[in-house]
Homo-oligomer: A and B are copies of this chain.
Amino acid sequence: MSSIMRAVTVKPPGGLADLAIGTIPRPSPRADQLLVKVAFAGLNRADTLQRSGAYPPPADAPATMGLEVSGEVVEIGAEAQGKGFKVGDNVCGLVGGGGYAEYCAINIGNVLQIPRGFSLEQAAAIPEVFMTAYQALIHISQLKKGEDALIHAGASGVGTAAIQLAKSWGARRIIVTAGTDAKCAFTKSLGATHAINYKTTDWKSEVLAITEKRGVDVIIDFVAGSYFNSNLEALAVDGRMTILALLGGPVVEKATIGHFLRKRLRVEGSTLRSRSKEYQAQLAELIRRDCIPKFESGELRPVIDTVYAFEDIAKGHQHLEEDKSLGKVLLRL
């Protein structure tokens, strides 16, 4: 194989017009990695933030964007031998970066098998959103059967995964917020029992009305700042909230933290990319155990909005930034 490959190049901070296909050295897998010939890469908001300079990649990650891929195994590191995968296998998985390229190295602990009957395109839409949603809803917030959940940004990639996981784990009410009536209708088709258009409705009052003033047991939040107090009010006694992003800013004017004590609330911030290799591998193991069988039975499904050709990466980023997508946006290599 050639020692160079095609990849999306951009030097942050960059705009859409700076997204170009260039060539960079082909990565060699570390001893504990597989090298994958990328078929599809998932696009994530973290990528657009990285491009614009707002989210520098971790020091040990490739500078190229892209946090998840599907493709064919072409090389196996020494320590990754005999761990269930061979050259020629189709796989998908979470990567620390470098997904927008012809070849990408994946830590062996992060590699997921392709669910039976799934295409590489479908498989590329699984890792980031299902690992993030599973981590937030099940692993951290510990949603239990019969509980009520509030999932903000319900039509986002993570939102669509969280709705399905909540349904599959036996949530009673699955309340979703989204920014258009079309998104609201879409989330209901995935299993949301109530969808609130936050642009036309006071979602907090609506959540309290739906739950007969009790509040919800679990919240998955991406907004933080401007939603924080309303989220605390919308939580029930013993409620748990996982914050996954700061889209509403990192500061709350007059935070009403008395709720923490009065309702025994738990709030946790979490990200996936910054976690240790061991943590990510443990989470991938839970996905293999708890989710892959449900993909194969049809109980869970990745939701794909649009697939862009490699050369159309700028259109893909624009699509994400316009906040109109219903589910995942992918890149076909």
| Interface assignment of A199: CB less than 8 Å from any CB of chain B | no
Q: Are B268 and A257 in touch, CB under 8 angstroms?
A: no
Q: Are A250 and B246 in touch, CB under 8 angstroms?
A: no
| Bound CA span A69–B252, Å | 42
Extra inter-chain contacts (4) besides given A252-B257, A260-B267, A261-B270, CB under 8 Å: A245-B261, A250-B259, A260-B268, A261-B271
Q: Give A142 Cβ to nearest chain B Cβ, in Å.
A: 12
| Interface assignment of A254: CB less than 8 Å from any CB of chain B | yes
| Interface assignment of A225: CB less than 8 Å from any CB of chain B | yes
* Given A265-B268, A266-B267, A266-B268, CB of A251 within 8 Å of CB of B260: no
| Residue-wise interface mask of A (263-283) relative to B, using a CB-CB cutoff of 8 A (1 in contact, 0 not) | 111111111001000000000
Q: Are B251 and A253 in touch, CB under 8 angstroms?
A: no
| Interface assignment of A298: CB less than 8 Å from any CB of chain B | no
Picked from B228, B260, B274, the residue with its CB within 8 Å of the CB of A257 is B228
Residues of B within 8 A of A267 (CB): 260, 266-268
| Interface assignment of A205: CB less than 8 Å from any CB of chain B | no
Q: Are B254 and A260 in touch, CB under 8 angstroms?
A: no
Q: Are B255 and A257 in touch, CB under 8 angstroms?
A: yes
Query: Closest 5 interchain pairs by CB?
Result: A250-B258, A260-B269, A255-B255, A261-B269, A266-B268
Picked from B224, B261, B269, B274, the residue with its CB within 8 Å of the CB of A265 is B269
| Interface assignment of A262: CB less than 8 Å from any CB of chain B | yes
Residue of B nearest to A228 (CB): B257
Residues of B within 8 A of A262 (CB): 269
| Interface assignment of A256: CB less than 8 Å from any CB of chain B | yes
| Bound CA span A195–B251, Å | 31
Picked from B246, B253, B257, the residue with its CB within 8 Å of the CB of A258 is B246
Picked from B228, B245, B246, the residue with its CB within 8 Å of the CB of A255 is B228
Residues of B within 8 A of A250 (CB): 256-259, 261
Q: Are B256 and A253 in touch, CB under 8 angstroms?
A: no
Q: Are A264 and B257 in touch, CB under 8 angstroms?
A: no
| Interface assignment of A286: CB less than 8 Å from any CB of chain B | no
Residues of B within 8 A of A269 (CB): 257, 259-266
| Bound CA span A331–B27, Å | 72
| Interface assignment of A190: CB less than 8 Å from any CB of chain B | no
Residues of B within 8 A of A268 (CB): 260, 264-267
| Bound CA span A266–B142, Å | 14
